[in-house]
Structure 1
């Protein structure tokens, strides 16, 4: 059964990554920061966790304000590093743990956390800035990441208490995963800083010290703080410490701080802290089925749930059909479908399903009907003709089963 072996709190200031990439670890201006991470990196090297669960936020690089989720979980088998405007960081892509992510997502939604689920979105400095200081990565990272994004950019933000509850639910999900995995939970952000308005440059290291103490000893107090109170104490952008509270929720109970360091150089008091569990809630029993809402669906003939497992498997094929919204791509499909296959990087089995117009086979493979119908439009087929095909009937035979066939 999977279990949490420790927690890490860390800042995710982008200049940390920039200084790292420029090999400034030993510069007098940066050494206090990098030295503070060494005990945590050593602990990770000794513990050899399989997965780091990262509570982080995206800074408008993979998500934008036209559709910005409150909570989102990454379920892809691999994540790239984002280009934030100055080029992609020289870090390798990192593995995801799709099975654990699927399990956690199912469990969270069943516990009434309305998670957005994402794939194929790169991780920005909210993850990769501290990640490079925690894990060696040449030629590859030693484990996998499970990213959970929390909105701390656009109000209304989730409350500190809600983030804590999210962490508690993540712990229950992890502990009910049947595979034996060692997991570390990571909360990112902060500490005190403000980077907009006339208050830009505000810091309060006394409050940061108090926050770190309360984090261990009195998390209930921190859970009760409003965003305005966090902003008043630590600056506007310091409200992102609610992501530390998500990590604290995943380590519900009594914890011990093994190491902490904070360093204020310019605008942000950059911190890192390592925690272990002293007392914890009773472990969860392993679950055979994380999504209780689908129990028994396998007994319903001719029915196929479009779930995260199928979505991950068929992402490229679903995107192929989704791109039929684009006039140029539709025309490419009409003129040279093999070139369209190449553009979508479809596998040979996926191409064979499309060539055969195997509508039922595509559904069974993991294609959502709501993108598949876009392909039907290009093939000059109605939805009713596709329905009939999936039933193995002619259109006339299918319409004969309808209450008002003439409505077609």
Structure 2
């Protein structure tokens, strides 16, 4: 069974990664920061976790304000690092854990957290800035990541209490995953800083010290704070400490801080801390689940019905994208003119190409294609939805229409 073995709180200031890439670890201006991460790296080396579950935020690098989710979970088998305008950092991609991600997604949605689910979106400095200081990564990272993005950019933000409850739900989800995994929870952001308006450059180190104390001793007091409270005490952008609150919720009720460091150089009080759990200080572990999504119990008994779930979405992502791109006139033209070139552009497997060539509508759905992208392909093939329905039933259109109440409405 999966087990949470501790937590890490860390700032994610982009200049941390920049200083690391420029090998400024021994620079007097940066040494106090990098020294603070050495115990974290040593702790992770000792504990050997299989996975880091990251609560972070995306800084408009993979998400934009045309669709900016409150909570989003990454389910890809692998994640790349984002180009934030100056080229990608010299870091390798990192593995995801698709099975655990699916399980956590199912559990959270069943606990009424409305998670957006994302694939093929790179991770920005919200994840990768501190990650390189904590985990060795040449030639590859020693484990996997499960990223959960939290909106801290565009109000309304989730409350500190809601993030705390999200962490508690994540704990229940992780503990109910039947595979043996050692998981560390990471919460990123802060501490005090403001980087916009006339108050730019605001810091309050005394508040940061108080926050770190309350985080261990009285998390409920922090969970009760409003966003305005957090902004007043720590600066406008320090509200991102709600992501630390998600990490805190995923730990036991009592925790011990075994390492803590914070360093204020220019605009942000950059902090890192390690938290170990006091066993027995919370509810008993959640029992493992044979089925992650209880809402689908019994669906396999419904003949001719196929649930499009996260597992199928991950498996058939490129194939679904092939059909989805039929919204684009240029891609539609390419499909008609050179189908193999369109296949190559989407990196479809031979099995997937065969399903498309044969127009095996039922086989495509069974493989993991959503009908609502498949119908776009039908348009290019000059087929109506009714014709596709008939094909999936193994009938002619005429026979299918005979089963309808008003066949002449077709």
Q: CA RMSD in A?
A: 0.4
Residues 90-128 of structure 1: CA distance to partner in whole angstroms, max 9, x if unpaired? 000000000000000000000000000000000000000
| Cα distance between partner residues in 2 of 1:98 and 1:342 | 25
Task: Indicate the SS of the match to 1:380.
Answer: coil
Select 1:340's aligned residue among 319, 339, 342: 342
What whole-Å deviation, never above 9, does each CA across 1:265-304 have from its counterpart, x for those lacking one?
A: 0000000000000123210000011111100000000000
Which runs of no fewer than 5 residues in structure 2 stay unpaired? Answer: none
Q: Map of 1:303-314 to 2, 5 A cutoff?
A: 303-314=305-316
SS at match of 2:117: strand
Rounded to whole Å, the distance in 1 between the matches of 2:38 and 2:6 is 16
1:46-77 deviation per Cα after TM superposition (whole angstroms, max 9, x unaligned): 11100100000000000000100000000000
Deviations 1:120-151 (CA, angstroms, capped at 9, x unpaired): 00000000000001100000000000000000
Could you tell me which residue of structure 2 aligns to residue 326 of structure 1? 328
1:168/1:252 contact within 8 Å kept = no
Q: Which residue of 2 aligns with 1:385?
A: 387
Question: What's the CA shift for 1:311?
Answer: 0.2
CA distance in 1, matches of 2:199, 2:342: 52
Residues of 1 paired with 2:240 and 2:345: CA distance?
40
Within 5 Å, which residues of 2 pair with 1:27-176? 27-176=27-176
Q: What do the CA deviations read for 1:204-259 (whole angstroms, capped 9, x no partner)?
A: 00000000000000001000000000000000000000000000000131000000
Q: Which residue of 2 aligns with 1:182?
A: 182
Scaled by the length of structure 2, what TM-score is found?
0.99
Q: In the alignment, which residue of structure 2 is the partner of 1:191?
A: 191
Equivalent in the alignment of 2:252: 252
- Cα distance in 1 for partners of 2:135, 2:404 equals 60
User: Structure 1, residues 330-371: CA drift from partner, whole Å, max 9, x if none?
Assistant: 000011111110111111110000000000000000000000
2-side partners of 1:116 and 1:366: how far apart? 19
Distance 2:104 2:91 in 1: 27
Q: Map Cα deviations across residues 13-55 of structure 1 (whole Å, 9 max, x no partner).
A: 0000000000001100000000000001000011110010000
1:233 aligns with 2:241: no
Structure 1 runs of 4+ aligned residues shifted over 3 Å read none
**Aligned residue in 1 for 2:288:** 286
Q: Distance in 1 between matches of 2:189 and 2:43?
A: 21
What do the CA deviations read for 1:157-199 (whole angstroms, capped 9, x no partner)?
A: 0000000000000000000000000000000000000000000
Structure 1 residue aligned with 2:357, among 352, 355, 358? 355
State the alpha-carbon separation in 2 of the partners of residues 37 and 282 from structure 1.
Answer: 32
Contact 1:192 1:205 in 2 (8 A): yes
Q: State the shift of 1:261 in Å.
A: 0.1
Aligned to 1:271: 271
Q: Secondary structure at the match of 2:262?
A: strand
Once residues 346 and 170 of structure 2 are traced to their aligned partners in structure 1, the CA distance between those partners, rounded to angstroms, is 34
Counterpart Cα distance in 2 of 1:194 and 1:120: 31
Corresponding residue pairs, total: 408
1:8–1:274 contact (8 Å) kept in structure 2: yes
**TM-score normalised by structure 1 residue count:** 1.00
CA distance in 1 between partners of 2:292 and 2:318 (Å): 25
Q: Secondary structure at the match of 2:319?
A: helix
Structure 2: how far apart are the matches of 1:15 and 1:367? 42
Contact 1:57 1:126 in 2 (8 A): yes
